[in-house]
Amino acid sequence: MQLAAPSPLATPAIDEIWRVAAARVGFSITRTDDAYATSNGAGVIAIGASQTLDVDDACAQLVFHELCHAITQGEAALQLPDWGLENVPEHTPREHACLRVQAHIADRFGLRALMAPTTPYRAYYAALPGDPLQELGDGGGDPAEAAVMRAAREAATRFDRSSWRAPVEEALAATAALIAAPAATGTGARGDLHPLGFALGPSDQSCGTCAWRYVGGRGTPVARCRQSAPANGVGDGARVAHDTPACARWEPPVDCRTCGACCREAYHSVTVSVRDPVVWQEPALIERHGHRFEIRREGARCAALRVEVAEGAGRRYGCTIYENRPRPCREFAAGGRHCLDARRRVGLSARPA
Res 51 pLDDT > 50? yes
- Who's near 154: CB < 8 A, 6+ residues apart? none
Strands 222-225 and 213-216: antiparallel
Strands 314-319 and 305-310: antiparallel
Res 70 pLDDT > 90? yes
pLDDT digits (tens, 9 = 90+) for 260-300: 999 998 888 899 999 999 999 999 999 998 888 999 999 88
pLDDT digits (tens, 9 = 90+) for 104-125: 898 878 788 888 887 778 888 8
Instruction: State if pTM tops 0.75.
Output: no
